[in-house]
């Protein structure tokens, strides 16, 4: 038996041609709705969320005004940190025989520097100069920034002078410095090394 004929005969028996038209119209609407809405159109892919920025890297930038100095000239160290932090500068003589903390010192004792600001050491009016004493060779300045106010080297390891000297060789200083920094989380400190020639 054919389905269309059966449907037609049922419709005619129940209410005539008008009922059959309504039923056919309703079926057409339902079929159209299934075709249009039953099969969902493919959705555009959801864009990846914007990457969230990671924590800002803690850095320190440090330099002197030129690459070559003559004994007796004065240097100015320019420093900028990415975060507000405590900065210490240590000068290592060209022969490695002497390490001096040149900042902070008796003339400029506040080592807290604001992040993103440029500082000159010495600043105008600080009352001291960083004179190059030699001997001839390559001199280094280690710039260390820490988020906490800590002694990079223990107070007993420094002399009590306007510019404290490290009691020991440059190798001993490097060992003491590495030991102290290893106690901190890597994101709590930053360093920069300045190198210049003394003639």
Q: pLDDT tens for residues 29-63?
A: 544 544 444 544 445 555 555 555 556 799 999 99
Q: Residues 193, 141: contact at Cβ < 8 Å?
A: yes
Nearest-5° angle of CA 182, CA 188, CA 193? 75
Rounded Cα gap, residues 131 and 143, in angstroms: 17
More confident call, 127 vs 34: 127
* Domain boundaries of the chain, sorted by first residue: 1-40, 60-198
pLDDT of 189 reads 97
Q: CATH top-level class for 60-198?
A: mainly beta
């Amino acid at each position: 038996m054919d389905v269309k004929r059966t449907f037609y005969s049922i419709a005619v028996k129940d209410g005539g041609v008008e009922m059959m038209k309504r039923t056919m119209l309703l079926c057409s609407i339902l079929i159209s709705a299934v075709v249009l809405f039953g099969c969902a159109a493919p959705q555009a892919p959801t864009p990846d969320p914007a990457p969230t920025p990671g924590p800002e890297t803690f850095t320190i930038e440090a330099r002197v005004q030129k690459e070559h100095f003559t004994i007796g000239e004065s240097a100015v160290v320019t420093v900028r940190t990415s975060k507000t932090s405590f900065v210490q500068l240590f000068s290592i003589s060209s022969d490695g025989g002497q390490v001096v903390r040149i900042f902070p010192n008796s003339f400029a004792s506040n080592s807290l520097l604001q992040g993103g600001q440029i500082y000159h050491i010495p600043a105008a009016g600080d009352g001291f100069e960083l004179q190059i004493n030699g001997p001839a060779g390559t001199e280094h300045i280690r710039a260390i920034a820490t988020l906490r106010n800590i002694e990079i080297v223990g107070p007993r390891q420094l002399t009590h002078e306007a510019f404290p000297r490290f009691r020991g060789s440059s190798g001993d200083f490097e060992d003491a410095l590495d030991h102290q920094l290893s106690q901190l989380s890597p994101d709590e400190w930053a360093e920069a090394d300045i190198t210049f020639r003394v003639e």
